[in-house]
Amino acid sequence: MKIIRVTNVEKFSAQILPKQPQKNRSIVESILKNVQKNGDSAIRKYEKQFSGAKITSLRLSQNEINNAFSKVSKKEIIAIQQAKVRLEKTESIIKSILKNKTIYANGIKISKKFIPIQSVGCYIPGGLARYPSSVIMSVIPAKIAGVKRIVVVSPPNSDGNVDPLTVVTAKICGATEIYRIGGAQAIAALSYGTKSIIKVDKIVGPGGALVTLAKSMISDKTSIDMLAGPTELGIIADVTANPKYVALDLISQSEHSNDTFCFLITNSEKLAKSVNKIITELINKIKRSDYVKTSLKENGFIAICKNNSEMIKLANELSPEHLQIMTKNPNSFASKITSSGLILLGHDTPSSASDYLLGSNHILPTNKFGKTRGSLSVLDFIKTNTEVSTSKPVLSKISKHMELFTEAEGLPNHYEAVRGRIQ
């Protein structure tokens, strides 16, 4: 990894962020337009092109789902259930905060009701790895929220089959439909709808660069959760951190794909050199080393800052999806962090554990969107309904103030709609 001394945080953060190839936009735009126009046939074309799969039926049948269960071990099902139960507990507590309220003020009645979205599409990555954990993270909050139609899409392998563990997890968690499609074409299908797939109200879930870009590009038609991917990990560490732990954590997230964004921010040159040395020693001994090598070489870095204040400032500027704080006093650092998707405190809270079984959600904002939102949760699947009722006496009371506003804004008929009722 590159070791860089940071003298100007703003300048450094502007230069170091990975840039997506411009060709990606034209590729995704072409896929979206084709699926919108040609539906299922376009999807089959792209699945053949990208996965080599010749697909007839896009939706998995009940027999195929049953067959997937026969390929999954009892131990795997127990692990799925453990992760499911832990996330359910977190999401149920969040939902319990949302209570319907009726507000009476000045003769006006305003009701606030929290109701579930009617349908959602959950994108589950595949191809480079399999991600049953992403099924849990997207489907469970939707289920807890009360969403009736939960659609799971995931890329097939060259035989046209979806990973059995992904299928089983989707069924256990409460998905109502499962489709063997991936990539930007899956996002297009969920957004526009096809003969086989009814469009959804919202699309959630993580993905690679093309999927993330596709979500961004259809967001004027269909609601999305956030831009979630490729993965990002920032680590703030001082001299008290164990360099081996830091190295292992950077490796763990960078194994996702070639375009992850993983980095260390420290004020210790000794730690920087030790972490880099350990990564170099491990790199040829680990599995998925090609992804780790490319990712850390192309996008990774170790930033050496002058002091704690500069370390915090840089972390807030970069706004990583995951931010681990491995310092003498992590809580002090965390109190000043405002922009990361998830903060993991202490030397024994690795981001890899949060990806599975800590009860937190691993679908998190990337591309600096941690500045404005946190992880996917039950809140992403619930909307606020507002009901208002008033009366002629109330309209009469507000009439003169209403007239001032409508005159100022040049909208006289707004006032007439009130005046016509009270004369």
State the catalytic residues. 321-322
Asked whether the beta carbons of 390 and 384 are under 8 A apart, the reply is: no
Q: Can you say whether residue 202 is alpha, beta or left, with left for phi > 0 and alpha for psi between -120 and 50 degrees?
A: beta
User: Angle 183-192/40-50 helices, nearest 10 degrees?
Assistant: 170
> Parallel, antiparallel, or unpaired for β 101-105 and 149-153?
unpaired
A 10 A CB-CB count for 390 gives: 14
DSSP H or E segment with residue 237: strand 232-237
Written as one string, the DSSP assignment of 4-45 is: EE-S-HHHHHHHHS----THHHHHHHHHHHHHHHHTHHHHHH
A 10 A CB-CB count for 358 gives: 18
> What's the rounded Cα separation, in Å, for the pair 142 and 382?
9
For 76, 91, 252, 344, the CA distances from 312, given in Å and listed in that order, are 40, 30, 23, 14
A 10 A CB-CB count for 385 gives: 11
By C-alpha distance, which of 84, 83, 137, 209 is closest to 376?
A: 137
User: Angle 243-254/289-298 helices, nearest 10 degrees?
Assistant: 100
> What's the rounded Cα separation, in Å, for the pair 163 and 167?
6
Q: Residue 79 contacts by C-beta under 8 Å, 6 or more apart in sequence?
A: none
Cα dihedral 267/270/276/279 (nearest 10): -110
Q: Which two tokens stand for residue 208?
A: 């690679």
